[in-house]
Homo-oligomer: A and B are copies of this chain.
Amino acid sequence: MSDLARFSVNQMTVKQLPLPDLVAACRDLGVPGVGLWREPVQEYGVEAAAKLVRDAGLTVTTLCRGGFLTATDPAGRARALDDNRRAVGEAATLGTDVLVLVSGGLPAGSRDLPGARERVADALAELGPYAEAHGVKLAVEPLHPMFAADRCVVSTLAQALDLAERFPARQVGVTVDTYHVWWDEDAPAQIARAGAGGRIHTFQLADWVTPLPAGVLNGRGQLGDGSVDLRRWRELVEAAGYTGPIEVELFNDALWARDGREVLAETVERFTRHAV
């Protein structure tokens, strides 16, 4: 098996590449998988995007992302559920069985993290069966605790699994992303728990580099540039039974400012050096 057999590039890593250019670059570099994002796929057209990647022989490893399920007002809540049902449909059209979910942050003025997490659980109860009916699994992604207020009230794998385990694994599992969990000494045990339950629905890589940029969203480091022992995390998910795609997802202003093909080639090389 080639070193790249399980490699997937998340579309955001090289968001400067239009979708056809990304597909061509993957073909040229021997990249077999892509994780797609809803907004650029919608711009291109979901059916057209599905045909483009299918014709190129690419596997769509995930669709990012659904979620944002913490609204308290009925209208906001209904809109979020509708949008997530659309995301499930898009995932099915694209031929991936994994929809990554980012829970959402605290509603404006709220300080109630447990309440927000409970609303995520309520939403999963509605979305899980819908996703299953469309052949899609929901992958709840814990984000780093620095996002707890404004983006994701689920901060650890333990919390994500506490949510997921209320539902069948074929409906709800988790995303393991090194950037979000690397600091957590409980994460290895939670990976084992997730693997035992068949709930590792996707595994994503990014490195942790400092100083963090303002807003902290676009500071995900190129593999090998930071503090994360990427190979160790890969070994942990594999020891837990995960044999699926390994998706590299970087949000990084410096990488976005460069030539996208060059960044993808670099990412492939870094993956081979630091994660295989």
Q: A residues touching B (Cβ–Cβ < 8 Å)?
A: 106, 110-114, 144-146, 148-150, 155, 159, 182-185, 208, 210-216, 226-229
Q: Considering only CB atoms, which chain B residue lies closest to A111 in the complex?
A: B229
Q: Considering only CB atoms, which chain B residue lies closest to A162 in the complex?
A: B185
CB-CB under 8 A from A215, the residues of chain B are 211-212
Chain B nearest CB from A159 CB (Å) reads 7
Chain B nearest CB from A57 CB (Å) reads 36
CB-CB under 8 A from A149, the residues of chain B are 183, 208, 210, 226-227
Q: What is the CA–CA distance of A159 and B215 in the complex, to the nearest angstrom?
A: 27
Report copies per complex: 2
Q: Is the CB of A150 within 8 A of B210?
A: yes
Q: Is the CB of B114 within 8 A of A185?
A: yes
Q: What is the CA–CA distance of A111 and B228 in the complex, to the nearest angstrom?
A: 6
Q: Considering only CB atoms, which chain B residue lies closest to A226 in the complex?
A: B149
Q: Given A146-B144, A146-B145, A146-B216, decide whether A113 and B211 contact each other with a Cβ distance below 8 A.
A: no
Q: Is the CB of B114 within 8 A of A183?
A: no
CB-CB under 8 A from A182, the residues of chain B are 148
CB-CB under 8 A from A150, the residues of chain B are 210-211
Q: Considering only CB atoms, which chain B residue lies closest to A229 in the complex?
A: B111
Q: What is the CA–CA distance of A145 and B148 in the complex, to the nearest angstrom?
A: 12
CB-CB under 8 A from A145, the residues of chain B are 144-146, 183-184
Chain B nearest CB from A33 CB (Å) reads 26
CB-CB under 8 A from A214, the residues of chain B are 211-214
Chain B nearest CB from A16 CB (Å) reads 22
Q: What is the CA–CA distance of A247 and B106 in the complex, to the nearest angstrom?
A: 26
Would you list 5 pairs from A and B whose C-beta atoms are within 8 A, ordered by A residue? A106-B227, A146-B216, A149-B210, A150-B210, A211-B216
Q: Is the CB of A183 within 8 A of B208?
A: no
Chain B nearest CB from A189 CB (Å) reads 13
Q: Is the CB of A183 within 8 A of B155?
A: yes
Q: What is the CA–CA distance of A71 and B206 in the complex, to the nearest angstrom?
A: 26
Q: Given A212-B216, A215-B212, decide whether A113 and B146 contact each other with a Cβ distance below 8 A.
A: no
Q: What is the CA–CA distance of A148 and B113 in the complex, to the nearest angstrom?
A: 23
Q: Considering only CB atoms, which chain B residue lies closest to A212 in the complex?
A: B216
Chain B nearest CB from A131 CB (Å) reads 26
Q: What is the CA–CA distance of A159 and B149 in the complex, to the nearest angstrom?
A: 23
